[in-house]
Amino acid sequence: MEISAVTLSRPRFCWRLRTRRVELGERTRLMAIVNLAAETGMPAAANAKFALGAAVEAVDSGADIVELGSAATRTGTQTVNAEQECARLLPVLEGLLQARPQALVAVDTWHAATAREAARAGAEILKDVSGMTWDMEMAETVARSGCGVVLMYARGRVRESLAQGAMSRDEVVSQVFAGLCESVAIAEAAGMEDERMVVDPGFGFGKRGAENFCLLAQLGRLHQLRLPLLVGLSRKGFLGDVVKPVQPAGLPRAEARRMATLAGNVTAVLSGAHILRVHDVQAAREAVAVADAVLEAAN
Hey, what domains does the chain have and what are their CATH numbers?
A: 26-230 (3.20.20.20), 232-293 (no CATH)
10, 127, 235, 277: which is the annotated catalytic residue? 277
Per-residue confidence (pLDDT) for residue 250, from 0 to 100: 86
Q: Give every CB contact of residue 149 below 8 A, 6+ residues apart in sequence.
A: 125, 126, 127, 128, 142, 187, 192, 196, 197, 198
Per-residue confidence (pLDDT) for residue 203, from 0 to 100: 95
Tell me the CB-side half-sphere exposure of residue 291, using CA atoms within 13 A: 28
Q: Say if residues 229 and 272 touch (Cβ distance below 8 Å).
A: yes
**Under-50 pLDDT residues of the chain:** 1, 3-5, 75-76
DSSP helix/strand/coil, 179: helix
d(Cα 270, Cα 182) in Å, to the nearest integer? 26
236, 253, 257, 285: which is the annotated catalytic residue? 236
φ, ψ of residue 100 in degrees (nearest 5): -135, 80
Q: How large is the angle between the packed helices 112-121 and 82-99, nearest 10 degrees?
A: 20
d(Cα 200, Cα 231) in Å, to the nearest integer? 6
d(Cα 142, Cα 147) in Å, to the nearest integer? 6
Per-residue confidence (pLDDT) for residue 76, from 0 to 100: 46
Helix (H) or strand (E) segment spanning residue 150: strand 148-152
Q: Is 20 one of the catalytic residues?
A: no
Q: Compute CA distances 152 → 129, 156, 182, 184, 203, whole Å.
A: 5, 12, 11, 10, 9
8-state DSSP, 62: T
Q: Which amino acid is at 269?
A: V
Segment 9-50, tens digit of pLDDT: 899 999 999 999 999 999 999 999 999 876 555 666 678 889
Per-residue confidence (pLDDT) for residue 254, from 0 to 100: 87
Per-residue confidence (pLDDT) for residue 211, from 0 to 100: 92
Residue 133: how many other CB atoms lie within 10 Å: 19
Q: Is 277 one of the catalytic residues?
A: yes
Per-residue confidence (pLDDT) for residue 156, from 0 to 100: 67
Per-residue confidence (pLDDT) for residue 71, from 0 to 100: 72
